[in-house]
C-alpha cells in the first residue's frame, strides 16, 4: 500500500535541479519559461529545488566545459536515489557548435548516463514539458527497480 | 576629641578611594587599597571608645564595682581586620610582581589584554 | 547531634584544606581522597540537616564556644540555619562535591596541584560558613576569605599573563567591595553595639535612622560588587575566563549565589525592607539592567568562557529581579532560578572545561565540529543550552516562567517584556556557541580529539539529569525546597525569636503569625504525566511509519570513506574547510545595533581604574537613592 | 477511560492525524491560492501529500562530517513539539488536554520547532546551513518582541474583567471572555494588537517575504540544504503544521467565541477561519512582496508591529 503511495508521489511531484555546465543560457531561459503562468509546470508538481539533495530530476544544460566538469560529477553524485539525468538542448548531447573547442570536455554521456534528452537549440517549452513527463516515467521505473 | 578620629577616618577612606581610581600605577593602587583598609580600621577602633575607660585587661580578682573598661569587641574585630588587610596586600603585591614579569610595566593603561 | 551539624558542615572543609596543605605533593591519591571525603562529608552533614529544618520546620542555632546571650544581649558568634540558608546550603555543597570530582582529572596537567586544592577547599568552606553564619562580622570574614581564595584561583595559571591581570583586577575591585561591607558592619555595630543578625533585626524593626540607612546602602553596594551586578560587573568576565573551569563553575555557582543570599539576608530579614516600594523598585531596576547588558555583551563575545561569564551576570539579573518583586510568587521564582542557574551554568562551564581539556583552546573562532569527536559533551552542552534559554521540558523554563508571571502580576509589564527578549537573546548566543564549537566542520588540528575521561563526565551527567528532572517535575522541587525557603524570607520574626529566646521577639513584633502561605498553582503548566504519554505515543507513531517500509530499503546511507556523495554540498566545489561560526553569526543584529555594541565595547576597556570608578559611582548613586527614597 | 480519551485526542483529533492532514491541506490551499493570484493553474490542493510521500520514498543521505544523531533527531523533535502545541489550543471552548492551557507555555513550545531546525541545520555541517541559522535566529529575535507585547495586552485585557484585575495567561479564559462579549478584534484596544499579530504570522511560519532562512536561490534552502528523504519530508511537514498551529492560535485569540458546542462543527469552523487567516496573512504577502534582507526584517519588526502592540497595551491600560 505504501509503495503505491510513493509511486503516486514520485509521479505527481518530481523536483528539478538545474545544472548549467557552460551553456549559452538559451536553454536556461526556456527552462524558466516552463514555470511561468503560460506553461505552468507546477500543475504537474514540478518545482525547481534549491539543493541537489532535494532533487529527483537533474536538468543539465550546456556542453561540459573543463571548468565545470568535476563540479558536474560531484553534484551528480550528491543527488539521492532514485534520480534521472535529463539533457536540455543539444549541447550536452553533442557539444553542438562548440564541438572540438579547446575547453569543451565532450558530451554528457561520458560522465553520466542520460535518461531523457530534449533536443532543440533551445527546445520549445512544450518539448521540455514532454521530456519532463517522460523523465517521471523513468523515475518510477528506477524506484521499482530499487525496491 | 573623638571628632578628630572620625575626620581622619573619612580623609583616609576618601584618599584611599582617590588613589585606587586615579593612579595608573599598579603599585599605587595596592597602596590605595591599604589606605582604605586602615581608614576603616581606625573607625572601628574609635567606635568602641568610652571616655575615662581603661584597657579591658584584668584578672577576675581585680574586678570590682568601680572598674570601667573600654568596649573590648571592636578591638578584637580590628585585629582580624588588620590581619585580613595584610593578607590582601601581600597577595596584591605578589600579583603586581607577576604583572611586571609578564607585561614588563605596571601602567594599568598597558595592562589590559582582557577587554571588550 | 543535630545541634552540631552546621559547624560540622563548615569545619570538615577547613580541616580538609589543612590536611591537604600538609600532604603537599607527596601523595596524589591520598590528597584526592582527602578532598573527596571532606567535600562529601560536608554534603552529607548538610543533607542530614534537611529533616529537622525543612521537614519539621524549626531552626537550628549554634553558639560558638557556648556563649549564650546574657540578658538578651548576644555576645558570642552564633550560627543560625533556617530554611533559606539550608536551601542555599544544599545546592552549594552539591556543586562543591561535583566540582571536586571534576577537577581530579581536569587539573592533572597543571603544576602546583596541592595549592589548587587548598584554595578550593578554603573557598568552599568560606561559602558554607557565609551561608550558615548568624553574625554580621563573621559574614564579612567569610566573604573576605572567599574573595581571597577566588583571586588566588583566578591567577592559578600564572604562566598566562591574562590570568595574572584578571587576578589583579579582581582583587582591586573585590577589596573595594569588601571594604564597603566592613564599613557598613562597623556602622551597624556603632549603632546597636551587637553583631548578631537576629538581635539587629529585632532592634531594626521599623525604626530606621539615618545611620542604619547609610549602612544599608553600603551593604547593598558591597554585595552588588560581589554578585557582579551591572555597573560593577567588569571584572567578572576576566576572572571567569582565566580561572580553571572547575573554579569558574564555582564562581558562577556558589560565589555569586552566596552574595545573592547576602543581599536577601540583609535586605529582607535584617532590615525587613520587603514591603518598601522604593527598595523593590531599586532591586527590580538593577536586576533588569544587569539582565539586559549581560546578554547583549554575551552576544558579541569570541571566547566560550567569556560568553558564559556574561550569561552568569545576566541570569543573576533574573534572580535579583525575581527577589526584588517581593511578592510570594516573585521570591519563589527568584530562588528557583538561583537553584536552576547553579545547575545549568555549572553544566555549561564544565562543558567549556571539557572542550579546553580536549582541544586546549576555548576560542570560538578556532573551534568547530566537536560533536563528532565528543558526542557526550555535545549532548550535555545541548541540554545545558536549552535549559538556560528556557525551552519547556527543561528547568530554566519553569523558573523564568514564574518570574514572567510574577513580574507581570506585580504590574511591571516592561520588565516582563525585557525578560522575554533577554531570554530569546540567550538562546541566540547559545546557538552561536553550538554552531561554532560543536557543530559545523572539524578543523584539521582537532582531527584526533578524544572524549574527556569518565571522571569528568560523571559530574556533568549528574547535573544534566538534575536539569531535566527540575523541568519535568517542578512541583516537587517547589513544595519540598523553595516554598519553605520563600516562607522563611517573608517571615523573619521566627528567625529572631528562635535565636534570641522566646520573649525577645515579641517585644518588637506585634504579629508573630507566620508569613502568607505561598499557594499558587502552576497555572497552565501541564501535568508531567500528559507530557510523558505524548512522548510515548509519538515515538510509537514514528516507529510505525518507519516499520511500514515507507523508507528506502537501505534506510540511512552513511559512510566514512572519501566519497563525493557524502561530501557537504558546496555548489560543486571540493569540500574545503569553510566553517561558518564564531563572530560572523548574527551580523544582522549587530549591524542593526552597531552604535550600542560599539559603545559597550568602548566601556569595557580593561583599565582597572575605570572599573574602580564605576564601583565608586554605583556606591554614590545607591547612597543618594537610599537617602532620598527609602523611609 | 480518561487515559483512553487522552490517547484518542493525541492520536486523532487535535493531535497527530489532524495536524498531518490539516497542515498539508492548508499548505496546498496556500500554494493553490498563490498560483491563482499569478494567473496560473497551480498544483492540486493535495500536492503537499504527494511531496510528502515522494520524499519518504527517497534515499536519506547523511553527510560525512555531520553529527549523525542530532542531524536525524532534529525533525522528530520539531514534529513532537508542534503536535504538543496543537493539543493545547482550545477550539471554541473545547480544550482537549488541560483545563487551563497557558499562553506562555504555548509561546515557548512554538520556539522548539525553530530551534530544532537550527540544531538540525548546524548539525549538518554545511556553510550554507551556518548562514541560514544566523538568519533564522535573527528572525526569531525580531518577531518575538511584537508577539510578546500583543499577548501581554490580550492577557491584561481579559484579566481586567475575568480574573479580578490581575492578568490571566490562560487560553480558556480568553475564549470564555470572547464568548461573553464578542470576538476580541471587535474591541477598540485590540485592533492594533490584531494587526501586529497578523504581521507576525508570516515571519513565524517562514513564508515568502520573511523566509530569509530558507531562501532557495541565495543559500539553497538554508538549514535544509543537506536533508533528503524522510527527515526532509518531516521538516516540510513541520513547516505546514506550523502554519496550521499559528493560524488556529490566532483564531483562538482574536476570532473565537462560544461556538456551536458540537465538536465536529466547531473544528470545521476553526479550520475555515484558519484558511481565511492564511489567505490574509501569508498568501497575500507572499504574492505581492519580495524577500527582505536580515536586518531589514529586524528593523521592520522592531518598529511598526511593536509600535502597534505597544499602542494596544497602552489602550488596555486606559481601560478601553
Is some CB atom of chain B closer than 8 A to the CB atom of C364?
no
Strand A47-48 to A15-20 pairing: parallel
Reading the block at residue D211, the C-alpha cell is: 523566509
Q: Do chains D and A touch (3 or more CB pairs under 8 A)?
A: yes
CB distance A6–C550 less than 8 Å?
yes
Sign of CA pseudo-dihedral D208, D212, D218, D222: negative
Q: Which residues are CB-neighbours of D218 under 8 A, at least 6 positions away?
A: none
CA dist D81 and B2 (Å) reads 71
What digits encode the pLDDT tens for the residues C592-608?
Answer: 888 998 999 888 888 89
Strand A15-20 to A57-61 pairing: parallel
Residue A19: which H helix or E strand, with range?
Answer: strand A15-20
Is residue C329 assigned to a domain? yes
Confidence of residue C555 (pLDDT cuts 50, 70, 90): low
User: Minimal CA–CA distance to A123: which of A54, A39, A44?
Assistant: A39
Beta-carbon count within 10 A of A134 CB? 16
Q: Which residues of A touch C548 (CB under 8 A)?
A: 2
Average pLDDT over residues C533-537: 64
CB distance B95–C238 less than 8 Å?
no
Average pLDDT over residues D81-107: 77
As a whole-number percent, the residues of chain B with pLDDT over 90 amount to: 57
Sign of CA pseudo-dihedral D18, D21, D23, D26: negative
Residue ranges per structural domain of chain B: 10-53+69-103
> Which fold, B10-53+69-103?
Helix Hairpins (1.10.287)
Average pLDDT over residues C542-567: 63
CB distance C572–A53 less than 8 Å?
no
Return the bridge partners of D118, or none: none
CB distance C552–A146 less than 8 Å?
yes
Confidence of residue C524 (pLDDT cuts 50, 70, 90): very low
At residue C172, does pLDDT exceed 90?
Answer: yes
User: Minimal CA–CA distance to C112: which of C167, C165, C156?
Assistant: C156
Q: Which residues of A touch D43 (CB under 8 A)?
A: 13, 42-43, 45
Residue that is written with C-alpha cell 562529608 in the block: C41
Is some CB atom of chain D closer than 8 A to the CB atom of C390?
yes
CB distance D52–A53 less than 8 Å?
no
Confidence of residue C502 (pLDDT cuts 50, 70, 90): low
What digits encode the pLDDT tens for the residues D290-314?
Answer: 888 888 888 899 999 999 999 999 9
Give CA separation, C19 vs A28, C31, C33, C112, D190, in Å.
80, 8, 11, 16, 69
Which residues span the domain enclosing C87? 2-531+584-629
Is some CB atom of chain C closer than 8 A to the CB atom of D105?
yes
Q: What distance, in Å, lies between the first and last C-alpha atoms of chain A?
A: 14
- Compare B15 and C570 and report the one with higher pLDDT: B15
- C569 vs A3, A52, A146: nearest CB: A52
Collapsed DSSP state (helix, strand, coil) of residue D318: coil
User: Minimal CA–CA distance to C233: which of C614, C616, C628?
Assistant: C614
- Number of compact structural domains in chain A: 1
Is residue C538 assigned to a domain? no
What digits encode the pLDDT tens for the residues A5-34?
Answer: 888 899 999 999 999 998 999 999 999 999
pLDDT value of position C534: 62
CB distance A51–C563 less than 8 Å?
no
Confidence of residue C380 (pLDDT cuts 50, 70, 90): very high
Residue ranges per structural domain of chain D: 2-317
User: Minimal CA–CA distance to D284: which of D221, D186, D199?
Assistant: D199
Give CA separation, C520 vs C94, C401, C486, in Å.
28, 13, 13
CA C49 to chain D, closest CA, distance in angstroms equals 36
User: Minimal CA–CA distance to C195: which of C207, C182, C205?
Assistant: C182
pLDDT value of position C512: 47
pLDDT value of position C199: 86
CA dist C623 and A118 (Å) reads 84
At residue D74, does pLDDT exceed 80?
Answer: yes
Sign of CA pseudo-dihedral C321, C322, C323, C329: positive
Average pLDDT over residues D42-58: 90
- Number of compact structural domains in chain C: 1
pLDDT value of position C351: 93
Q: Please, are residues D152 and D134 in contact by the beta-carbon 8 Å criterion?
A: no
Rounded to 10 degrees, the C-alpha dihedral C45/C50/C51/C52 comes to 80
Beta-carbon count within 10 A of D216 CB? 17
At residue B50, does pLDDT exceed 70?
Answer: yes
Q: What distance, in Å, lies between the first and last C-alpha atoms of chain C?
A: 44
Q: Please, are residues A121 and A64 in contact by the beta-carbon 8 Å criterion?
A: no
The pTM for the full model equals 0.91
At residue C124, does pLDDT exceed 90?
Answer: yes
User: Considering only residues 72 to 111 of chain B, which have any Cβ-Cβ distance to chain C shorter than 8 Å?
Assistant: 73-74, 77, 80-81, 84, 87-88, 91-92, 95-96, 98-99, 102-103, 108-109, 111
H helical segments located in C391-501: 395-409, 413-433, 454-472, 474-477, 483-490, 492-500
DSSP secondary structure letter of residue A42:
G
Q: Which residues are CB-neighbours of D136 under 8 A, at least 6 positions away?
A: D114, D117, D118, D121, D213, D222, D223
At residue A60, does pLDDT exceed 90?
Answer: yes
CA dist A65 and A58 (Å) reads 17
Per-position b or e across C546-565, b if 16+ CB within 10 A of its CB: eeeebbbeeebbbeeeeeeb
pLDDT value of position C554: 53
- pLDDT, chain C, mean: 85
CATH number, domain of A30, equals: 3.40.50.12280
φ and ψ at C102, to 5 degrees? -70, -40
- Angle (nearest 5°) at CA C292 between C291 and C293: 100
Q: Please, are residues C80 and C494 in contact by the beta-carbon 8 Å criterion?
A: no
What digits encode the pLDDT tens for the residues C335-354?
Answer: 999 999 999 999 999 999 99
Residue that is written with C-alpha cell 552539591 in the block: C94
Q: Cis check for the bond before A82: say yes or no (omega within 30 of 0).
A: yes
pLDDT value of position C130: 94
CA dist C33 and C13 (Å) reads 13
Most confident of the ranges A103-107, B93-97, C474-478, C577-581: B93-97
Q: Which residues are CB-neighbours of D242 under 8 A, at least 6 positions away?
A: D23, D82, D110, D113, D204, D205, D206
The secondary structure of chain A in percent helix, strand, coil, rounded to multiples of 5, reads: 50, 15, 35
What digits encode the pLDDT tens for the residues C75-88?
Answer: 888 888 888 999 99
User: Minimal CA–CA distance to D16: which of C117, C368, C534?
Assistant: C534
Amino acid at each position: 500500500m505504501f509503495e503505491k503511495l510513493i509511486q503516486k508521489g514520485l509521479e505527481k511531484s518530481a523536483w528539478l535541479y538545474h545544472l548549467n555546465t557552460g551553456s549559452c543560457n538559451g536553454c536556461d531561459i526556456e527552462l524558466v519559461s516552463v514555470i511561468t503562468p503560460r506553461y505552468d509546470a507546477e500543475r504537474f508538481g514540478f518545482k525547481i529545488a534549491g539543493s541537489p539533495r532535494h532533487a529527483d530530476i537533474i536538468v543539465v544544460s550546456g556542453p561540459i566545459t573543463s571548468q565545470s566538469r568535476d563540479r558536474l560529477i560531484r553534484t551528480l553524485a550528491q543527488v539521492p536515489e532514485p534520480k534521472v539525468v535529463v539533457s536540455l538542448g543539444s549541447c550536452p548531447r553533442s557539444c553542438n557548435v562548440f564541438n572540438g573547442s579547446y575547453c569543451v570536455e565532450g558530451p554528457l554521456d561520458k560522465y553520466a548516463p542520460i535518461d531523457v534528452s530534449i533536443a532543440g537549440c533551445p527546445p520549445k517549452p512544450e518539448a521540455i514539458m514532454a521530456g519532463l513527463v517522460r523523465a517521471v516515467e523513468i523515475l518510477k521505473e528506477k524506484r521499482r527497480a530499487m525496491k | 576629641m573623638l571628632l578628630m578620629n572620625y575626620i581622619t577616618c573619612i580623609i583616609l577612606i576618601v584618599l584611599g578611594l582617590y588613589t585606587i581610581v586615579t593612579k595608573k600605577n599598579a603599585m599605587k593602587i595596592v597602596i590605595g587599597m591599604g589606605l582604605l583598609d586602615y581608614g576603616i580600621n581606625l573607625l572601628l577602633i574609635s567606635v568602641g571608645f568610652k571616655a575615662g575607660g581603661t584597657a579591658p585587661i584584668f584578672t577576675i580578682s581585680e574586678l570590682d564595682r568601680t572598674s570601667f573598661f573600654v568596649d573590648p569587641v571592636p578591638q578584637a574585630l580590628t585585629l582580624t581586620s588588620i590581619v585580613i588587610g595584610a593578607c590582601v596586600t601581600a597577595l596584591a603585591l605578589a600579583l603586581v610582581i607577576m604583572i611586571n614579569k609578564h607585561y614588563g610595566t605596571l601602567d594599568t593603561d598597558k595592562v589590559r589584554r582582557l577587554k571588550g | 547531634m543535630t545541634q552540631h551539624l552546621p559547624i560540622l558542615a563548615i569545619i570538615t572543609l577547613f580541616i580538609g584544606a589543612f590536611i591537604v596543605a600538609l600532604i603537599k605533593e607527596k601523595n596524589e591519591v591520598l590528597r584526592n581522597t582527602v578532598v573527596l571525603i571532606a567535600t562529601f562529608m560536608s554534603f552529607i552533614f548538610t543533607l542530614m540537616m534537611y529533616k529537622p529544618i525543612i521537614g519539621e520546620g524549626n531552626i537550628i542555632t549554634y553558639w560558638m564556644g557556648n556563649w549564650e546571650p546574657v540578658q538578651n544581649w548576644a555576645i558570642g558568634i552564633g550560627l543560625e540555619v533556617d530554611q533559606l540558608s539550608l536551601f542555599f546550603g544544599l545546592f552549594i555543597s552539591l556543586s562543591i562535591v561535583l566540582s571536586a570530582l571534576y577537577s581530579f582529572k581536569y587539573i592533572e596537567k597543571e603544576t602546583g596541584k596541592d595549592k589548587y586544592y587548598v584554595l578550593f577547599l578554603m573557598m568552599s568552606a568560606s561559602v558554607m560558613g557565609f551561608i550558615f553564619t548568624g553574625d554580621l562580622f563573621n559574614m564579612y570574614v567569610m566573604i573576605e576569605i572567599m574573595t581571597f581564595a577566588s583571586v588566588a584561583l583566578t591567577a592559578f595559571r600564572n604562566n598566562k599573563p591574562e590570568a595574572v591581570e584578571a587576578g589583579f583586577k579582581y582583587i582591586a575591585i573585590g577589596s573595594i567591595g569588601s571594604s564597603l561591607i566592613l564599613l557598613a558592619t562597623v556602622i551597624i555595630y556603632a549603632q546597636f553595639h551587637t553583631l548578631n543578625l537576629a538581635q539587629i533585626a529585632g532592634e531594626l524593626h521599623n525604626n530606621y535612622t539615618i545611620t542604619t540607612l547609610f549602612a544599608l546602602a553600603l551593604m547593598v553596594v558591597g554585595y552588588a560588587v560581589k554578585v557582579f551586578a551591572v555597573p560593577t560587573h567588569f571584572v567578572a568576565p576576566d576572572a571567569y575566563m582565566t580561572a580553571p573551569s572547575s573554579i569558574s563553575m564555582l564562581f558562577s555557582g556558589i560565589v555569586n549565589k552566596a552574595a545573592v543570599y547576602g543581599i536577601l539576608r540583609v535586605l529582607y530579614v535584617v532590615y525587613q525592607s520587603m514591603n518598601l516600594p522604593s527598595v523593590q523598585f531599586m532591586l527590580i531596576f538593577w536586576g533588569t539592567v544587569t539582565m539586559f547588558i549581560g546578554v547583549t555583551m554575551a552576544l558579541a563575545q569570541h571566547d566560550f568562557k567569556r560568553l558564559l561569564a556574561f550569561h552568569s551576570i545576566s541570569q543573576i539579573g533574573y534572580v535579583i529581579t525575581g527577589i526584588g518583586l517581593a511578592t510570594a510568587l516573585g521570591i519563589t521564582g527568584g530562588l528557583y532560578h538561583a537553584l536552576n542557574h547553579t545547575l545549568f551554568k555549572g553544566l555549561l562551564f564544565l562543558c567549556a572545561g571539557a572542550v579546553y581539556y580536549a582541544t586546549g583552546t576555548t576560542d570560538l573562532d578556532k573551534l568547530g565540529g566537536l560533536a563528532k569527536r565528543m558526542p557526550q559533551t555535545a549532548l550535555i552542552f545541548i541540554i545545558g543550552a536549552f535549559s538556560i534559554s528556557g525551552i519547556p521540558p527543561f528547568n530554566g523554563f519553569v523558573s523564568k516562567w514564574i518570574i514572567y508571571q510574577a513580574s507581570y502580576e506585580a504590574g511591571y509589564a516592561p520588565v516582563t517584556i525585557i525578560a522575554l527578549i533577554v531570554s530569546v537573546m540567550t538562546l541566540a548566543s547559545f546557538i552561536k556557541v553550538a554552531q561554532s564549537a560543536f557543530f559545523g566542520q572539524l578543523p584539521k588540528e582537532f582531527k584526533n580529539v578524544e572524549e574527556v575521561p569518565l571522571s569528568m563526565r560523571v559530574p556533568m551527567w549528574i547535573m544534566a539529569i538534575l536539569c531535566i528532572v527540575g523541568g519535568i517535575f517542578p512541583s516537587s522541587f517547589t513544595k519540598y525546597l523553595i516554598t519553605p525557603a520563600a516562607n522563611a524570607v517573608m517571615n523573619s520574626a521566627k528567625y529572631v525569636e528562635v535565636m534570641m529566646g522566646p520573649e525577645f521577639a515579641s517585644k518588637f513584633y506585634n504579629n508573630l503569625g507566620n508569613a502568607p502561605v505561598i499557594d499558587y498553582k502552576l497555572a497552565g503548566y501541564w501535568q508531567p504525566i500528559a507530557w510523558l504519554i505524548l512522548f510515548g505515543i509519538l515515538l510509537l507513531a514514528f516507529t510505525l511509519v518507519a516499520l511500514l517500509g515507507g523508507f528506502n530499503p537501505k534506510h540511512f546511507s552513511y559512510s566514512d570513506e572519501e566519497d563525493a556523495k557524502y561530501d557537504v554540498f558546496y555548489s560543486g566545489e571540493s569540500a574545503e574547510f569553510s566553517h561558518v561560526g564564531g563572530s560572523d553569526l548574527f551580523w544582522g543584529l549587530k549591524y542593526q545595533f552597531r552604535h550600542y555594541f560599539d559603545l559597550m565595547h568602548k566601556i569595557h576597556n580593561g583599565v582597572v581604574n575605570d572599573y574602580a570608578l564605576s564601583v565608586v559611582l554605583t556606591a554614590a548613586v545607591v547612597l543618594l537613592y537610599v537617602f532620598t527614597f527609602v523611609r | 477511560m480518561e487515559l483512553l480519551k487522552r490517547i484518542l485526542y493525541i492520536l486523532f483529533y487535535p493531535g497527530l492525524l489532524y495536524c498531518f492532514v490539516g497542515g498539508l491541506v492548508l499548505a496546498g490551499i496556500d500554494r493553490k491560492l498563490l498560483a491563482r493570484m499569478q494567473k496560473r493553474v497551480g498544483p492540486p490542493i493535495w500536492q503537499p501529500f504527494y511531496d510528502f510521500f515522494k520524499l519518504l520514498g527517497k534515499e536519506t543521505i547523511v553527510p560525512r562530517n555531520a553529527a549523525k544523531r542530532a542531524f536525524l533527531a532534529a525533525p522528530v523533535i520539531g514534529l513532537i513539539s508542534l503536535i504538543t502545541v496543537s493539543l493545547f489550543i482550545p477550539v471554541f471552548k473545547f480544550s482537549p488536554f488541560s483545563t487551563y492551557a497557558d499562553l506562555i507555555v504555548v509561546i515557548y513550545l512554538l520556539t522548539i520547532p525553530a530551534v530544532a531546525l537550527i540544531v538540525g541545520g548546524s548539525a549538518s555541517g554545511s556553510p550554507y546551513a551556518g548562514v541560514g541559522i544566523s538568519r533564522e535566529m535573527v528572525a526569531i529575535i525580531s518577531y518575538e518582541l511584537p508577539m510578546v507585547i500583543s499577548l501581554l495586552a490580550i492577557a491584561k485585557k481579559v484579566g481586567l474583567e475575568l480574573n479580578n484585575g490581575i492578568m490571566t495567561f490562560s487560553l480558556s479564559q480568553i475564549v470564555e471572555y470572547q464568548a461573553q462579549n464578542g470576538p476580541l478584534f471587535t474591541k477598540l484596544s485590540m485592533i492594533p494588537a490584531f494587526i501586529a499579530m497578523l504581521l507576525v504570522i508570516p515571519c513565524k511560519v517562514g513564508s515568502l517575504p520573511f523566509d530569509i532562512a530558507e531562501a532557495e536561490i541565495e543559500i539553497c534552502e538554508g538549514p535544509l540544504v543537506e536533508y533528503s528523504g524522510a527527515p526532509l519530508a518531516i521538516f516540510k511537514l513541520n513547516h505546514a503544521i506550523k502554519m496550521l498551529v499559528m493560524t488556529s492560535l490566532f483564531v483562538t485569540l482574536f476570532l473565537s467565541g462560544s461556538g456551536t458546542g458540537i465538536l465536529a462543527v466547531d473544528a470545521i469552523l476553526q479550520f475555515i477561519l484558519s484558511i481565511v487567516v492564511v489567505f490574509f496573512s501569508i498568501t497575500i504577502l507572499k504574492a505581492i512582496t519580495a524577500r527582505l534582507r536580515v536586518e531589514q526584517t529586524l528593523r521592520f519588526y522592531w518598529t511598526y508591529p511593536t509600535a502597534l502592540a505597544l499602542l494596544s497595551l497602552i489602550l488596555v491600560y486606559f481601560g478601553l
